[in-house]
Amino acid sequence: MVQDISLAICGHAWHGKSTLLGKIVAETGMATPREVEEAKQLAAEGRDASLVFAQLVFRSKDVTERSSEAARGVTILPSMVRFEFDEHRITVIDTPGQETYANNRFFGMFQADCAMLVVDVDEGPKPITHQVVRILKGFEIPVHAVVLTKMDRVDYREEPFRERVAELRLLLDDYGVPHEETVFIPTSAYAPNRDLMEPGEGIRGFRKIDWFDGPSVHRFMAELTFAAIRPRSAPLRLAIHGSEVYDHVPGIGKTATALVESGVVRPDMTLHFEPISAERKAPVTARVRSVQLTKGHFKTPGLPIAEGEPRQLIGVAFKNLSSKEPLRELFKGRGVLAGTTANPPSVAHAMEVELTVFDPDSLLRVGSVFTMHVHVDRAAISIEEVLAKREKDAAQWSEPVEQAIAPGEWGRVRVRVTNRPVAIEQADVLPPLSKFVLREGNKAVAFGRCTRILE
């Protein structure tokens, strides 16, 4: 069986994530002649040449208008490109780097089996770099590669690369992210005055960086393997982001891009959607018309398949929706979990959680309000009571002396969802869907897991 692997490209804004991915698309022949000509035309019109490759990633977005975000090279929603190899398929998820689109970044990262961290070798790690590493740790997503971009800015020299690698290893250590097996790759997708179609450094090979004996980015993906961690026998859970839902896809109709978290989804199954059903106090359901293995871009019909398996990113077409409201409006502004009517997703208004604070400047107090990011959803929660605490490496829990969790401490805490219910699973039932990250303002400050749904 061909293995499906989801790889998230993460990093700070303008460090070259989309340009890197677009250059791989161009050099592997995935771009059509028309797309290549459009790219050349954009460059001829004076468009930033590095963004020309980024636009190959934004295939389903408008890149013809200079005022559009895609035309300026800004990733708003995660873009996806699928690469086919002999024994596996890799869906590369290009995540947003701007703080404005943090929720979309978390959505893209949650879908991933593993991650590729992208850092500008000249600028080094920036605030979003730190946030990304924290989130990867919270969701327990392994960092299999760190790509150092824009090597042309340091004249392709080895010393700046080695210095930055040492700095990044310390950063990963700070947040407890394993990196012993992580590969660090120097790259330069495009450099000023370089011919647009000239091969980049570290994309499929090396010419100027002759001192490096590791893999190119494409070879890294070709050699990547990842063991399946979601059983087919577990209850079906589909994670659907509200922004990736469409009412009128030609030839298909109502459809959504979804990640199969556990179980198996097949045509003619009836799905139950949460937390929408809990909010409306009535089941919101639909039947599966068809399942497609997406080509890697939203709105693009893919290869029909008999069933969607764990960790596959799929397109699902719906029929017989129980609500008369358009699917887009129904799912708008939220993340949704789907299960079967016999075993629907769990929903929480209040829960017990185990969490730890990793931000050195944050303190979780009773009464504090945070944004909880869980799978593809987010909700406002308040801290109601600290039930027990322990130090980072301690085995035993003890009664709290004060109703607060300090940086480095673990706490058993009762929290309440304040704005609307959230679909979440208990850690002893479906561990991956119990994990969450807490955010305060523009900072991710803590992560943990739901241990008990109270109501």
Above pLDDT 90, what percent of the chain? 35
Q: Could you say which DSSP state residue 19 is in?
A: H
State how far the Cα of 108 lies from the Cα of 110, in Å rounded to an integer.
6
- For the chain, give the mean pLDDT: 82
DSSP 99-131: GGGHHHHHHHHHT-SEEEEEEETTT---HHHHH
The larger pLDDT score, comparing residue 54 to residue 440, is at 440
Q: Report the SS3 class of residue 223.
A: helix
Residue 231 is predicted with a pLDDT of 60
Which stretch of 27-41, 91-105, 302-316 has the lowest confidence by average pLDDT? 91-105
Query: What mean pLDDT do residues 129-135 have?
Result: 84
Least confident of 5-9, 98-102, 137-141, 334-338: 98-102
Mean pLDDT (whole number) for 93-106: 59
User: Residue 316 — pLDDT band, cuts 50, 70, 90?
Assistant: very high
Distance in angstroms (rounded) separating the CA atoms of residues 124 and 175? 17
Alpha helices (H) along 156-272: 158-174, 217-223
How far, in Å, CA of 396 to CA of 302, rounded?
Answer: 51
* Mean pLDDT of the 57-81 span: 45
Higher pLDDT, 95 or 373: 373
347-348 and 88-94 beta bridge pairing: unpaired
Q: Tokens for 373, please give them.
A: 């990011």
Token code pair at residue 211: 């001192």
In this predicted structure, the answer to whether residue 77 has a pLDDT above a threshold of 50 is no
Position 43 pLDDT exceeds 70 = no
Place 286 in a pLDDT band, splitting at 50, 70 and 90: very high
Yes or no: say if 15 and 120 are a contact pair by the CB < 8 Å rule: yes
Q: What percentage of the chain exceeds 70 in pLDDT?
A: 82
User: b/e string for 108-119 if b means 16 or more Cβ within 10 A?
Assistant: bbbbbbbbbbbb
| pLDDT tens digits, one per residue of 353-375 | 998 887 778 888 999 999 998 88
In angstroms, what CA-CA distances link 131 with 144, 181, 349, 443? 17, 21, 27, 7
pLDDT per residue as tens digits for the range 214-241: 999 999 999 987 654 456 778 999 988 7
- How far is Cα 78 from Cα 8, in angstroms, rounded to an integer? 9
pLDDT tens-digit readout, 44-64: 676 666 666 666 665 533 333
Q: What is the total residue count of the chain?
A: 455
Rounded to whole angstroms, how far apart are CA atoms 154 and 139?
A: 34
Mean pLDDT in residue range 404-431: 90
Q: Which domains does the chain have, with CATH numbers?
A: 3-223 (3.40.50.300), 237-340 (2.40.30.10), 347-453 (2.40.30.10)
210 DSSP 8-state letter = T
Least confident of 124-128, 130-134, 305-309, 442-446: 442-446
Provide the pLDDT for residue 70: 41
> Regarding predicted confidence, which is higher, 349 or 251?
349
Helices and strands per DSSP (H, E), number in the chain: 9, 23
Strand 435-440 relative to strand 443-453: parallel, antiparallel, unpaired? antiparallel
pLDDT of the residue at 79 = 65
Output the pLDDT for position 212. Answer: 96
DSSP assignment of 389-431 = EE-TT-S--B--SSSEE-BT-EEEEEEEESSS-EE---TTT-G
pLDDT tens per residue across span 179-214: 999 999 999 988 777 777 788 899 999 999 999 999
Cβ-based neighbours of 41, under 8 Å, separated by 6 or more: none
pLDDT level of residue 15 (50, 70, 90 thresholds): confident
Residue recorded with tokens 């010393």 = 159
Query: Could you tell me if 428 and 115 are in contact, meaning their C-beta atoms sit under 8 angstroms apart?
Result: no
Are 304 and 289 a contacting pair, CB within 8 Å?
A: no
The H or E element spanning position 50 is helix 49-57
Nearest to 188 by CA among 235, 148, 130, 246: 148
Residue 400 in this model has a pLDDT that exceeds 90: no
Do 38 and 26 contact (CB within 8 A), yes or no?
Answer: no
